[in-house]
C-alpha cells in the first residue's frame, strides 16, 4: 500500500492559530502513539501570536537519508520519507543536524530517530493524516490539486526551497500568498490604536522555479 499520488499535503502558516490540535492528534497516531512528531512553535510570542506548524517536508532527495551512516532512513516509492528503521538506526543524530527543516529528533531513551511519516498507517490506506484531518484552521491540509486550486485561490503551493547552496524540493507544499497581503500581520496592538500607524510589511522571497534541476531520484525507491 502507498500514499495515493493524487493527494497532497500542504502547510499554510498564515492560517495557523497555534491551537496544538495537530500535536495532540499526532500523538494518537498508531506508528508513534503517545508522541507528537509535529513541531509547532511561536516565532516570537513576546511580539506576535504567529505560530508555525512543521511536519516532515518529505524531501525528494532527503538530506537526512543522505547523511545517515547506517542507511536507516528510507523513502518509499510514493515519496514518503519514513522514520528510521529500528535495527539500523544508531541514534547518532546526523539526520537531526543535517535536516534543513529541523524535523527529525533522536529519542535517547529508545535510541532511535523518529519523525513525521505522514501518518503512513492512515495515508497508505487512503485516509488523511491525523493532523490535517483535525486541524481547525486547515493550516494543515491534505487533498487533491483541484481542491487546493478551488479552496485556496489566494495562495500558491511552493515546494522548492533554497538553503545556502542547497536547493531542496519536497512532497509537502508551503502555501505562499499570491500577492503581498494588503494589511501586514498585526504584531503590536499599539499600531492599531494609532491614527497613523507605521507600515510593517513583510516580503517573502520565493525561489524561481526555473532554477531548479529535476530531481533525478524522484521515482527511485531508496
Interface ranges with another protein (CB under 8 A):
14-21, 23-25, 27-28, 30-31, 33-34, 45-51, 128, 130, 133-138, 151-154, 181-183, 185-190, 192-195
Shortest approach of another protein to residue 64 CB, angstroms?
Answer: 24
DSSP class per residue in the chain: ----TT-EEEE-GGG-----HHHHHHTT-TTSTT----EEEES-TTT---EEEE----BSS-HHHHT-TT----B-TTSPBPPPPTTT-----HHHHH-TT---EEETTTTEEE---S-HHHHTTTPPPHHHHH-TT-SEEEE-HHHHHHH-TTEEEEEEEEETTEEEEEEEEEEEESS--SSPPP--HHHHHSSSPPP------PPPGGGPPP-TTTT---
Shortest approach of another protein to residue 127 CB, angstroms?
Answer: 9
Shortest approach of another protein to residue 164 CB, angstroms?
Answer: 30
Comparison of 26 and 68: residue with beta carbon closer to another protein = 26
Shortest approach of another protein to residue 128 CB, angstroms?
Answer: 7
Comparison of 33 and 211: residue with beta carbon closer to another protein = 33
Shortest approach of another protein to residue 155 CB, angstroms?
Answer: 8
Amino acid at each position: 500500500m502507498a500514499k495515493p499520488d493524487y493527494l497532497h499535503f500542504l502547510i499554510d502558516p498564515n492560517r495557523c492559530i497555534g491551537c496544538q490540535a495537530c500535536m495532540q492528534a499526532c500523538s494518537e497516531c498508531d506508528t508513534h502513539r503517545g508522541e507528537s512528531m509535529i513541531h509547532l512553535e511561536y516565532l516570537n510570542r513576546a511580539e506576535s501570536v504567529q505560530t508555525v506548524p512543521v511536519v516532515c517536508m518529505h524531501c525528494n532527495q532527503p538530506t537526512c537519508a543522505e547523511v545517515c551512516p547506517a542507511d536507516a532512513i528510507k523513502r518509499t516509492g510514493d515519496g514518503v520519507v519514513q522514520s528510521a528503521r529500528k535495527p539500523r538506526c544508531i541514534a547518532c543524530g546526523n539526520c537531526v543536524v543535517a535536516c534543513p527543516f529541523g524535523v527529525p529528533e533522536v529519542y535517547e531513551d529508545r535510541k532511535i530517530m523518529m519523525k513525521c511519516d505522514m501518518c503512513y498507517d492512515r495515508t497508505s490506506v487512503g485516509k488523511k493524516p491525523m493532523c490535517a484531518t483535525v486541524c481547525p484552521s486547515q493550516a494543515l491540509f491534505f487533498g487533491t490539486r483541484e481542491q487546493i486550486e478551488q479552496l485556496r485561490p489566494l495562495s500558491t503551493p511552493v515546494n522548492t526551497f533554497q538553503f545556502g547552496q542547497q536547493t531542496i524540493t519536497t512532497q509537502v507544499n508551503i502555501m505562499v500568498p499570491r500577492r503581498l497581503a494588503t494589511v501586514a500581520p498585526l504584531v503590536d496592538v499599539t499600531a492599531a490604536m494609532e491614527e497613523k500607524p507605521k507600515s510593517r510589511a513583510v516580503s517573502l522571497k520565493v525561489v524561481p522555479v526555473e532554477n531548479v534541476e529535476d530531481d533525478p531520484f524522484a521515482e527511485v525507491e531508496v
